[in-house]
Amino acid sequence: MASACKIWKWFIQRGSTVDESKQVTPGEERLELLQWAIPELIEKAAKLKFDRKNRIDLWFVLLYASMLELANSACRLVSIGEPAGSRSLARMIVEAYVDLVNLHNDDEYANFLDVNSLMEWQKTFKQAQEGNPYFKPLCDAPGFEEEVAMEAERLADLKKNGYRKLQAKERFERADMGDDYLGLYHWLCSDTHNSLRGLSMRHIEVVNGDDFKVHILKESSPDQELPVTSVLLECLAASSKIVHKRFSGGDVDVQEVSSRVQKLRKKI
């Protein structure tokens, strides 16, 4: 993945001029590449062979599958000029990419992922046992109490061996993406947590100095969403190389995607 500086250079380039030779703006060019790359990568992912009984392999495949699916949804929103939600999807993709990189660097990182997953299940189990109506079907399921005990024991064993839930900042730093956490990730989070910055970017148009309009479904162009499509391209290109190298013995199957993303990056 490109450095945070590269991605943020794309971010400030939203007002770039049209490429006169193609009459295509930078935003349109990246969107078109994304629209080609996603189905291409999904088709190639369907041919991946992995050990279904190996939980580490499963983590790799599920994280990658989620990234492709989320990118497809974000791309569709941007392409119809209604991008609300695309930055939240991009944030989820970046989080999955960070976990994928950490897993690629060290298989033992799967234990941290397991702890996070088991802790979330423990919260759900507790709510079910305390009578939360949303989880009543769990309590009624055969073997529920046995499952709760087994998962609690597994979580205790992992914690005993030094594994715990990692905070987002720790996950990024482990992936050598500390700058991305403080820059890119915080920007994406502002749209997810209903901050004034995120809400203003989505709904407000400044007119005549201090005056402004509040929009619902504010018109958007591919150039205005260039930061999102750039992030998606970088994450998909880098993660595809990792996954195909692990399961196919090389990244030749996805090299064209990486090469085309690299060519776009050189235009910055």
Encode the chain (268 residues) as per-residue pLDDT tens digits.
Answer: 544 444 444 443 444 443 445 588 999 999 999 999 999 999 999 989 999 999 999 999 999 999 999 999 999 999 999 999 999 999 999 999 999 999 999 999 999 999 999 999 999 999 998 999 999 888 888 998 999 999 999 999 999 999 999 999 999 999 999 999 999 999 899 888 888 888 888 888 888 878 999 999 888 899 999 999 999 999 999 999 999 999 987 667 799 999 999 888 877 5
115 in Cβ contact with 163 (< 8 Å): yes
Burial label, 6 (beta-carbon count in 10 A; 0-12, 13-18, 19+): middle
Tokens of 251: 């990244």
State both tokens at 35.
């629209």
Provide the whole-model pTM: 0.88
For residue 219, the SS3 value is: coil
Q: Alpha helix locations (H) across the chain?
A: 4-11, 26-45, 55-79, 86-105, 109-129, 136-140, 144-160, 168-174, 178-180, 186-192, 196-203, 226-248, 255-266
Distances (CA, A) of 264 to 6, 18, 34, 156, 242: 11, 14, 12, 48, 20
| Whole-number Å distance between alpha carbons of 60 and 55 | 9
- Give me the domain span that covers residue 131: 4-266
Count: domains in the chain: 1
Beta strands at 204-207 and 211-214: parallel, antiparallel or unpaired: antiparallel
CA distance 261 to 36: 12
